């Protein structure tokens, strides 16, 4: 084996070791903080099952719970998994280029994961707003006053988020509840609170029934959610096509390696292979971006 290959292998091994050390340090730190919090807040001791590996004290370790705990540690840093994957490819191909690509992919993947997390939070908040409307309607029809119904439903659903204290204070002490609800509607995914504010304003100024207005608002929000779910079901095939297009180049490389063609050596150590890798990577990125843009355009429509 040449000196270059040895140096590349050493670099890749060092990168993998660093990633492993970072992951172990994060797990140990989180385990230490969690154990300290349990002992301080819950009065846990060494003989209780809350400390140590998941499982009953003195009994077998629950390995699914251990795996779940490790997944909880790694979930917030999934983008850094690009580095170990790139390190494996660098070792197999005896080239530092995959490590560079993996390091560049970490912020891109992290941004995509954060965007997906924000989208899930937005949808969860929108669902809580629908539950809030239904809960307020139920409490109003049970004979509660609007302020009491709103306070109870808000605590049960958590739909008001950071503005919960302001809204409940306005409802309890005779403040401007519609304005407080409009401010709460500025949160991502809480647009339905603007409709609740309008219903509250109409009920206060015109004497209309608040329960009837919120009932219609809940039905409208549920219809909107069902339309979104139907649209996603129709676009599931398109997203599957995009995923298949993304995996095809990797499948081609794996197939070439299985046939003994050594595609990594050709792609990473020859001028023609490097040119094909650059052009193919650019075309792959452009194709995925365009396909995703088309699908997201359908979702927005």
Of the CA atoms within 13 Å of residue 55, those in its CB half-sphere come to 12
Give the closest residue to 6 by CA, choosing from 103, 98, 95.
95
pTM equals 0.66
Q: How far is CA 90 from the centre of its chain?
A: 29
130: left (phi over 0), alpha (psi -120 to 50) or beta: alpha
Q: Are 196 and 181 in contact (CB under 8 A)?
A: yes
d(CA 129, CA 124): 9
How far apart, in whole angstroms, are the C-alpha atoms of residue 285 and residue 41?
Answer: 50
Q: Report how far residue 11's alpha carbon sits from residue 7's, in angstroms, rounded to the nearest whole number.
A: 6
Q: What is the mean pLDDT of each run of 10 residues along the chain (301 residues)?
A: 49 61 58 50 41 47 63 68 85 85 87 87 90 91 88 88 88 88 89 90 76 90 88 84 84 86 87 90 87 77 61
The pLDDT score that the predictor gives to residue 95 is 84
Q: How far apart are CA 83 and CA 21, in angstroms?
A: 13
CA distances from 197 to 31, 124, 193 (A): 44, 20, 6
């Amino acid at each position: 084996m040449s000196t270059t290959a040895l140096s590349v292998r050493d670099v890749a091994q060092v990168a993998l070791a660093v990633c492993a050390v970072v992951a172990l340090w994060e797990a140990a730190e989180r385990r230490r903080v969690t154990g300290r919090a349990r002992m301080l807040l819950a009065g846990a001791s060494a003989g209780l099952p809350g400390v140590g590996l998941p499982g009953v004290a003195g009994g077998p370790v629950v390995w699914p719970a251990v795996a779940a705990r490790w997944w909880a540690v790694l979930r917030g840093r999934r983008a850094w998994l690009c580095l170990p994957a790139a390190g494996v490819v660098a070792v197999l191909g005896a080239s530092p280029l995959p490590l560079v690509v993996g390091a560049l992919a970490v912020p891109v993947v992290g941004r995509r994961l954060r965007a997906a997390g924000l989208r899930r939070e937005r949808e969860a908040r929108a669902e809580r707003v629908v539950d809030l409307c239904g809960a307020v309607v139920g409490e109003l029809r049970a004979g509660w006053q609007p302020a009491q119904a709103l306070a109870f439903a808000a605590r049960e659903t958590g739909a008001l988020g950071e503005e919960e204290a302001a809204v409940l204070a306005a409802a309890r002490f005779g403040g401007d509840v519609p304005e407080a609800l409009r401010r709460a509607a500025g949160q991502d995914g809480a647009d339905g609170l603007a409709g609740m504010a309008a219903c509250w304003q109409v009920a206060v100024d015109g004497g209309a029934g608040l329960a009837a207005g919120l009932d219609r608002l809940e039905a409208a929000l549920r219809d909107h959610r069902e339309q979104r779910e139907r649209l996603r079901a129709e676009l599931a095939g398109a997203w599957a096509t995009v995923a298949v297009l993304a995996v095809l180049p990797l499948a081609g490389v794996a197939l070439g390696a299985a046939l003994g063609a050594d595609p990594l050596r050709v792609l990473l150590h020859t001028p023609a292979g490097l040119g094909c890798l650059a052009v193919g990577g650019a075309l792959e990125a452009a194709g995925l971006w365009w396909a995703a843009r088309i699908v997201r355009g359908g979702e927005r429509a």
